[in-house]
């Protein structure tokens, strides 16, 4: 009956690693006779699980079948769950999120074939018991859609991959010098003029490609993305970058800038000099923008950037210097702090919290603001000790646009080498804070996929995975690390990613078949392969 016979000695190869887990006697058969029963409060999770198991079960999961999956509520924290697999499957959770994560763990007990759209079956699932809950509340990933636009279907797919790894925050970087990606109906030129650039730089400092690039999400698109994510217990946190990284907005509305000459949407990378001015009208403009952003994104957190804001134009601006004098500020750093505080007060009055990169610490910071520490961990330590909540986004450990190997064979190699083990060994609580009360200020951590050099969903797959799988364990699982054990579980997880269609980077490098022995139809060493390639191209020339 079963395509995959049971092995009693199979360890539970789950990513991220649960708090407690063990094999149990017995087995569960998932087939077209399987039924599903759920507490009414878990109806949305049940509907999602029916859809995911449909290739095996036919999608019905009607009551009265030979084996039952039960979703129930219990006295547990909201994101915690207990999973018991035997002749039946029972998931007891503290709330819908916990039930969803328990269902994700159950899926990982199935063969990788069950992750395909035509999964076959039936499948026997070995008996198991799991008790699990996340270590941190903020388990995030940043996706930069401003530098290179990602179409809606690819964003939805990325959300599914976050949810598979029990990550619960998608930080969507929507605006930057190179593009404005969200429709604001009051200011239509933000997308009419600001969402397209005439060309893009190749590499970090290479020639221009001569190809227009752009796109944006309508408000209906955003509502769909937010709802899709919410059904998977992912909160979409928007970023509207201020006061720097704003050239696309200034190109659309020149009155926001500090120069008399018009600007175009930026086509090169790096930190630009163009920043918005500090006039009351500019503050009102972006408050109007945020009125619409808050309506689209129910997230309690709103990111307003505050990073890499060069002050040259403010130093040269009579209006900015008058503002400094009027307010009795010491310098342009305090001017930025004052500017950010205007939006902190705006968001606080509407029940939201401002998040900014660690530069917002310079010049003073509003009490309720959250600091996303990216320049190493100094910002995290400083902010936590000053009583601010912290998200650890350290570029030395969590920037997934950095190269994955030391050689130049990496596609568009950039940054320092950040290998899988570097991400896996990352600890969200900085060493300097451990044992201090301030350590409780660390909400969690976030990996970042910046896309200056990532121009497609395929390339995003390659840069994100499997490092994102390793990251998920740093924010979900207990703090103890066992790299060998993780690699063993990852070896079972990678076929799941392959079944889904994720084009991850193989451990051997960007051309894994050059060095992987024993693969049918492939040579076992690069020299042999090169000889065959040379002969093949020679025949083509004839």
Would you please indicate which residues are annotated as catalytic (active-site) residues?
Answer: 176, 245, 308
**d(Cα 110, Cα 104) in Å, to the nearest integer?**
10
**Burial of 92: CB neighbours in 10 Å, binned 0-12, 13-18, 19+:** buried
Cross-strand bridge partners of residue 444: 138, 391
Q: What is the 3-state secondary structure (H, E, C) of 416-476?
A: CCCCHHHHHCCCCCCHHHCCCHHHHHEEEEEEEECCCCCCCHHHHHHHHCCHHHHHHHHHH
395 Cβ neighbours under 8 A, 6+ residues apart: 374, 375, 376, 402, 448
CA of residue 206 relative to chain centroid, distance: 28
Could you give the CA distance from residue 502 to residue 495 in angstroms, rounded to a whole number? Answer: 10
Q: Tell me the pairing of strands 390-392 and 442-449.
A: parallel
Q: Return the SS3 of 393.
A: coil
Radius of gyration of the chain (CA): 25
Nearest to 461 by CA among 394, 400, 386: 400
């Amino acid at each position: 009956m079963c395509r995959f016979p049971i092995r009693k000695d199979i360890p539970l190869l789950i990513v991220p690693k649960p708090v407690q887990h063990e094999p149990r006697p017995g087995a569960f058969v998932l087939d077209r006779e399987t039924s599903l029963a759920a507490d009414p409060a878990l109806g949305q999770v049940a509907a999602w699980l029916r859809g995911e198991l449909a290739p095996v079960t036919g999608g019905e999961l009607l009551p009265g079948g030979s084996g039952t999956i039960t979703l129930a509520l219990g006295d547990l924290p909201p994101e915690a769950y207990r999973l018991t697999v035997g002749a039946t499957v029972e998931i007891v959770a503290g709330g819908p999120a916990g039930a969803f994560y328990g269902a994700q763990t159950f899926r990982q007990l199935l063969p990788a074939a069950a992750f395909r759209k035509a999964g076959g079956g039936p499948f026997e699932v070995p008996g198991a018991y799991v008790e699990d809950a996340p270590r941190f509340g903020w388990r995030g990933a940043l996706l930069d859609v401003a530098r290179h636009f990602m179409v809606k279907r690819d964003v939805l797919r990325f959300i599914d991959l976050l949810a598979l790894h029990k990550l619960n925050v998608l930080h969507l970087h929507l605006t930057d010098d190179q593009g404005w990606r969200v429709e604001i109906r009051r200011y239509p030129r933000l997308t009419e003029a600001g969402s397209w650039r005439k060309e893009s730089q190749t590499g970090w400092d290479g020639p221009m490609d001569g190809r227009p690039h752009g796109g944006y999400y309508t408000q209906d698109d955003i509502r769909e993305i937010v709802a899709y994510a919410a059904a998977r217990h992912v909160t979409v946190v928007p970023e509207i970058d201020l006061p720097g990284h704003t050239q696309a907005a200034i190109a659309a509305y020149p009155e926001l800038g500090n120069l008399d000459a018009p600007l175009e949407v930026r086509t090169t990378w790096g930190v630009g000099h163009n920043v918005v001015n500090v006039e009351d009208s500019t503050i009102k403009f972006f408050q109007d923008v945020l009125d619409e952003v808050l309506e689209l994104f129910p997230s309690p957190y709103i990111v307003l950037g505050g990073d890499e804001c060069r002050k040259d134009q403010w130093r040269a601006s009579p209006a900015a210097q008058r503002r400094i004098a009027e307010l009795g500020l010491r310098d342009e750093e305090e001017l930025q702090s004052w500017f950010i505080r205007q939006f902190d007060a705006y968001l606080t009055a509407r029940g939201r919290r401002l998040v900014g990169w660690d530069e917002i610490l310079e010049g003073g910071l509003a009490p309720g603001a959250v600091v996303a520490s990216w320049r190493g961990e100094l910002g995290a330590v400083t902010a936590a000790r000053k009583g601010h909540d912290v998200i650890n986004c350290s570029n030395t450990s969590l920037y997934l646009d950095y190269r994955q190997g030391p050689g130049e064979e990496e596609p568009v190699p950039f940054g320092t080498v950040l290998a899988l083990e570097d991400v896996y060994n990352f600890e969200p609580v900085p060493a300097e804070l451990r044992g201090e009360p301030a350590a409780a200020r660390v909400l969690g951590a976030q990996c970042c996929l910046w896309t200056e050099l990532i121009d497609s969903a395929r390339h995003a797959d390659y840069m994100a995975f499997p490092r994102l799988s390793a990251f998920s364990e740093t924010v979900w699982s207990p703090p103890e690390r066992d790299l060998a054990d993780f690699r063993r579980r990852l070896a079972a997880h990678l076929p799941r990613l392959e079944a889904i269609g994720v084009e991850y980077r193989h451990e051997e490098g960007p051309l894994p078949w050059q060095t992987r022995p024993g693969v049918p139809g492939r040579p076992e060493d690069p020299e042999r392969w090169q000889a065959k390639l040379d002969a093949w191209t020679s025949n083509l020339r004839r």
